[in-house]
Structure 1
Amino acid sequence: MNRWPVKTGGYHVAARKACLGVLEGLQEARYARAAFVNAAIEADILVERDREG
């Protein structure tokens, strides 16, 4: 939650809010996952995995 490779960014803030929303039962996990993927792309740390392996 508090350790991220970039100082801040719009997607990072949105992902944190989305994750908290899920924990509070206010939001579905799929929205938090999408927000987290966007934040990872923004921070250039997203690693794609092979779905077949």
Structure 2
Amino acid sequence: MLALAIGVIITWRLADEKESRRKDRQAERDDDAELKAYNEMLAQAAENDRRMG
């Protein structure tokens, strides 16, 4: 049971690292478009909050 748990943890961690590298490469290619869109959404929400009260 312990060996299975360790195997799952290792597999999960390797998959997470692979996904992180993929997202880093994508951010380099598109000049962090996802982050810029997220920040714009937050700025719009803050502006809406400011207007409402």
TM range (shorter): 0.3 to 0.5
Q: What TM-score results when the alignment is normalised by the length of structure 2?
A: 0.34
Which of the pair has the greater relative contact order for Cα pairs under 8 Å at 6+ separation?
1
Q: Which has the larger radius of gyration?
A: 2
